[in-house]
Amino acid sequence: MTDVRNDWTREEIAAIYNSPVLDLIYRAATVHRQHHDPQEVQVCTLLSVKTGGCPEDCAYCPQAARYHTNVKVHKLMEVDEVLSAAYRAKESGSTRFCMGAAWREVRDNRDFDKVLEMVKGVNQMGMEVCCTLGMLTESQAEKLKNAGLYAYNHNLDTSEEYYGDIISTRTYDDRLDTLGHVRQAGISVCSGGIIGMGESHQDRIGMLYTLSNLPEHPESVPVNALVPVEGTPLEEQPRVSVWEMVRMIATARIIMPKAMVRLSAGRVRMNVEEQALCFLAGANSIFAGDKLLTTPNPEEDMDRQLFQTLNIRPRKAFKDAEQPAVVFEQIPL
């Protein structure tokens, strides 16, 4: 059994990342089998509860107000609409429901109170509830925890060195501070990044270095392939090859063996064989549903076929929870 280490050096990570790809996959698959059931894949659903109009300048993001994209701005959705969507996601087999808001940070206002209601409602349906709302203070993290939040997504996106080329309206340390507040509140941490933004291999290694040297590894690590969106500064970026996704996923799997590694944005451009390679390399979570936040994701039928062909099954909710969530009777919607 491989140990969980929080003292990986950049050189060690680079040696793993740069190893011959078939050796890399073999090693990652071996580590994966020591810590996880390789037939099991977590199925998560995303919902954009507040879309567009964001004041930040993240170069990849179609929701930044300053770029002219086709995304329609939408104010915070109503609680009952969100709960109906969560219920549908549960019915179609999702065990984690993640609500995203195009905010720079959470403000203590009526919108936040509504989000807390959404968290309560989804938790009561027996799903792992996750949010990604931008920066959080310690007390906001505690409020979310008390409402039943299971996980919080807050990506580092890239290396500390490349961060300023992608985002200028906040710092890497702001990101790390929020991750600290989430951890402190006892919420499961979800943090990863994006490849294909013009970063170097060293930057990818640098991001994995920061994640794997956190005092505790994130429980989930999303690996996104950039979805280039017209109107954003990264609209012309070429597609990342499957081998780059595989290297990233496999390295994350080896250095953070217990984490759920999520094959996130970019699946829509991958065939079954390419996705199978990612699962072999240690990915064990996906986003299902025909939309991510604003961009397309594979149709339900495609994913059903994917699961059948590869003999994989969805992971149950709360498998790693220290204590099960309080699950009330299912509320009919």
Phi, psi of 291 (to 5 degrees): -135, 145
54 is in an annotated binding site: yes
Q: Which stretch binds ligand SF4 (CB under 6 A): 55-63, 184-192, 279-287, 304-312?
A: 55-63
Helices of type H across 185-271: 201-212, 242-255
Least distance from ligand DTB to the Cβ atom of residue 235, Å: 13
Q: Is 60 in the site for ligand SAM (CB under 6 A)?
A: yes
Smaller CB separation from ligand DTB, 140 or 294: 294
User: Is 54 a known active-site residue?
Assistant: yes
Give residues with Cβ within 8 angstroms of 162, minimum separation 6.
Answer: 197, 199, 200, 203, 206
User: Is 130 a known active-site residue?
Assistant: yes
CA distances from 129 to 150, 272, 315 (A): 5, 28, 15
Contact partner at residue 67 from ligand SF4, ligand DTB, ligand SAM, none, CB < 5 to 8 Å by partner kind: none
What distance lies between CA 252 and its chain's CA centroid? 13
Nearest to 71 by CA among 276, 270, 230, 269: 230
Bridge partners of 215, per DSSP, are: none
Contact partner at residue 69 from ligand DTB, ligand SAM, ligand SF4, none, CB < 5 to 8 Å by partner kind: none
Q: Is 227 in the site for ligand SAM (CB under 6 A)?
A: yes
Nearest to 155 by CA among 116, 186, 195: 195
**x/- letters, 112..151, toward ligand SF4 (CB under 6 A):** ----------------------x-----------------
Backbone region of residue 3 per phi and psi (left: phi > 0; alpha: psi in -120 to 50; beta: other values): beta
Contact partner at residue 154 from ligand SAM, ligand SF4, ligand DTB, none, CB < 5 to 8 Å by partner kind: ligand SAM
Question: What is the binding site for ligand SAM (CB under 6 A)?
Answer: 60-61, 63, 100, 102-103, 132, 134, 154-155, 157, 194, 224, 226-227, 229, 265, 293
> Which residues form the interface with ligand SF4 (CB under 6 A)?
54, 56, 58, 61, 63-64, 102, 104, 134
